[in-house]
Structure 1
């Protein structure tokens, strides 16, 4: 479904937001029937609690939404989404003393709560509707939610229906909606185009590897700032000849989560007509096992001429990204963002909720961090720790794709990718998870976008700096 707000003239039931502080005073000011109903129901404004207040005809006159205390709101995002989940069909309007950021988060959370993945089971449902609160940019929030829905759908779709060819179709469909252009280099043509590592990783699959290149120019942005998004599109990762055990392979349909996330972000940018020149590069492959699979011990030569010793075929994401980053760097954009479900080390470091990212540019990093805090899309800056460069230099080749020892796995992967970005002035790499293991308000279990809302929010300030 397309996330949207109710029409402005729709009659709506007030949704009264009540923080715990001041709740007793509010209750004391109500008439006896309301006070008795609230007291008998045990409602005390706990975070996310919902109570319907009846009218004399027993219809719902108002709904109370507990807002808890400051610590509750810091611990839990999208409290208003709890009301959207608890309430049945109908139209509601926020009623409460919220800051601008809180109002925007509440409205976006309501939209995000309507997501359902019903491609294979279940039926679409008519969610409760919310009138766009006064002061929020409704079209912008609808674009953000739609971008997130696209990301979730792509990640949730199993590899049987989301191979490199299917991912290409998803890009072409998005381009058609927004008037973007798409060029694809696939199969052995990758070798002719000097994209050898994308070819090497994907050649063992029956579904041809490819580089998907989408470009779009915003209104009046012919000479505007250029932004390139690069997303890892490993549609399924068996580990290659270093075959993953079953426990590690079960979620590998999500290994194209970086591609899914940059496509969701691209939708946000294009749907809101940002005045930029946008390029999206997705190396789309399946890391499979066959007689022509690349092997441990092989040495590959990347697009930019660097040689890479393969010490583990399960560290394939950085290989396909390397060629794409090198290509992007040949016509340096003003800003390049790389997003990938790259390392388990990142999950060990920060868990599934935070998006760790790497950036040498302090102003860029601070802009991203501040945006992440503002829109509740939490990020964590990680270090490009240069003394670890020696860990990715095996001696027999320029680079090692999987340093031994297990130390600093996310950092060494980021340092590897950084070797392929030489001329772009501002570069950030996100090592995301792309999966929500436990259902939370506005974030059901399954595929999830990470970092995209923060990047989207930060873009104007970054590009104007």
Structure 2
């Protein structure tokens, strides 16, 4: 095995012969020169540069490393083809925390980067359940509802979106209960698990479809977050609902103009089969509401509108509660992740009108029209019981279509730490 490249941080400028380089080398050591401003961003960019030079094994050394800076380095150092090989710096507790984070991120990233052929909806549900069971042991119970059984239990959204595929859609219902049988549910997590999204009959162009293995990024993010929180010693009852389907075209696929009648009685006209994520999340949010959880958190790669609004370095957050938004921003800041609130007012639930049903699943125009991300959140609000605290996270930063200065191509897991922190609150 090759020797590990040692990496240290300094606030000193590089020697003159290095010019303005932010990374210099001294024998077997790489030195990252912090230049003020957003130092975590600089560290992540430096890690990308080192990884792109073929360096695969790293030992972080020196007193300037802390949890946030080491995590930023690991995020830049990860690629879709390999697991980061990093020796952490600092106290044992710091190293343990970073190891837990990386194990959880690696699991979530592997799911996101897996090929659509290898990750059918039922398989996604089972892999998530097995991984969480390995962590939680007897504290974890679960069931997978699939195919026709979804209709029997009135989970019509997941069934409709997934029925065009030969591989059945599924909902994972998982219960992590370290407190005992009758303990109240503190938090319910809901994840969009579209293992591949062709757009259905509202078909995507090839360039837009290529990265759609990432459309289960919400499911992988909430699963990774719960696993991380469990590794960190979570002592609350949490329920997890993954809404898993392939959105494909066939003689069995759902169509524009179809009307779905949901379990809570809300009728929905399908005006865009590529606005499928909100249709499956509607089932998960109803199940989460039935759990009696004090807080519901859903995560989804839901809208291109969120990407246009906040870019790819932030996740967009929505909630009817200003307190929930403030808490989420505070928790994200604690773990050095980026979130930004977008509007969600009561009237956003009326922004997708239908002449034939209570609401439509979008507006019949490109991207859902102006305010598309807020309108999608407004649609979801139809399926959350009143008086329950609810956070919707539109994961604009969950996936990099191509490598850039911060991320290798593929899943980023950005948002996992924020949700894990909220579980502990």
TM-score (norm 1): 0.81
Q: What secondary structure, in the 3-state scheme, does the structure 1 residue paired with 2:239 have?
A: strand
User: What is the aligned partner in structure 2 of residue 355 from structure 1?
Assistant: 315
**Per-residue deviation at 1:246?**
1.7
**Per-residue deviation at 1:222?**
6.4
Q: Which residues in structure 2 correspond to 1:442-453 (within 5 Å)?
A: 443-453=407-417
Q: Measure the CA separation in 2 of the matches of 1:39 and 1:141.
A: 32
CA shift digits 1:37-91 (9 cap, x unpaired):
x7464266x54x1332x5xxxxx5x65331112x252754536736864767464
User: Unpaired segments of 5 or more residues in structure 1?
Assistant: 1-11, 24-37, 55-59, 119-123
Q: Are positions 1:51 and 2:25 aligned together?
A: yes
Q: Which has the higher Rg, Structure 1 or Structure 2?
A: 1
Query: Is residue 84–residue 113 contact of structure 1 (8 Å, CA) maintained in 2?
Result: no
Q: What secondary structure, in the 3-state scheme, does the structure 2 residue paired with 1:392 have?
A: coil
Q: Are positions 1:152 and 2:109 aligned together?
A: yes
Q: Measure the CA separation in 2 of the matches of 1:288 and 1:17.
A: 49
Q: Are positions 1:265 and 2:225 aligned together?
A: yes
Aligned residues: 414
Q: Measure the CA separation in 2 of the matches of 1:125 and 1:350.
A: 29
CA 387–169 in structure 1, closer or farther in 2 if over 3 Å, else same? closer
Query: Is residue 320–residue 344 contact of structure 2 (8 Å, CA) maintained in 1?
Result: yes
Bigger Cα displacement from structure 2, 330-339 vs 82-91: 82-91
Query: Is residue 188–residue 291 contact of structure 2 (8 Å, CA) maintained in 1?
Result: no
Q: Which residues in structure 2 correspond to 1:18-33 (within 5 Å)?
A: 18-20=10-12
User: What is the aligned partner in structure 1 of residue 284 from structure 2?
Assistant: 324
Q: Measure the CA separation in 1 of the matches of 2:327 and 2:11.
A: 30
Q: Measure the CA separation in 2 of the matches of 1:177 and 1:291.
A: 39
CA RMSD of aligned residues (A): 2.8
Q: 2:329 aligns with which of 369, 373, 378?
A: 369
Query: Is residue 229–residue 424 contact of structure 2 (8 Å, CA) maintained in 1?
Result: no
Q: 1:65 aligns with which of 7, 15, 32?
A: 32
Q: Are positions 1:428 and 2:395 aligned together?
A: no
Q: Measure the CA separation in 2 of the matches of 1:222 and 1:142.
A: 33
Query: Is residue 320–residue 345 contact of structure 2 (8 Å, CA) maintained in 1?
Result: no
User: What is the aligned partner in structure 1 of residue 259 from structure 2?
Assistant: 299
User: What is the aligned partner in structure 1 of residue 190 from structure 2?
Assistant: 230
CA shift digits 1:97-123 (9 cap, x unpaired):
x7xxxx1112223444553433xxxxx
Q: Measure the CA separation in 2 of the matches of 1:245 and 1:68.
A: 42
User: What is the aligned partner in structure 2 of residue 94 from structure 1?
Assistant: 62
Q: Are positions 1:315 and 2:275 aligned together?
A: yes
Q: 1:279 aligns with which of 217, 236, 239?
A: 239
Q: 1:42 aligns with which of 18, 26, 42?
A: 18
User: Unpaired segments of 5 or more residues in structure 2?
Assistant: none
User: What is the aligned partner in structure 1 of residue 302 from structure 2?
Assistant: 342
**Per-residue deviation at 1:339?**
0.6
Query: Is residue 80–residue 107 contact of structure 1 (8 Å, CA) maintained in 2?
Result: no
Query: Is residue 14–residue 95 contact of structure 1 (8 Å, CA) maintained in 2?
Result: no
User: What is the aligned partner in structure 2 of residue 252 from structure 1?
Assistant: 212
Query: Is residue 222–residue 277 contact of structure 1 (8 Å, CA) maintained in 2?
Result: no
Q: Are positions 1:380 and 2:380 aligned together?
A: no
CA shift digits 1:292-319 (9 cap, x unpaired):
2211111110111100011111111111
User: What is the aligned partner in structure 1 of residue 9 from structure 2?
Assistant: 17
CA 41–264 in structure 1, closer or farther in 2 if over 3 Å, else same? same
Q: Measure the CA separation in 2 of the matches of 1:77 and 1:110.
A: 6
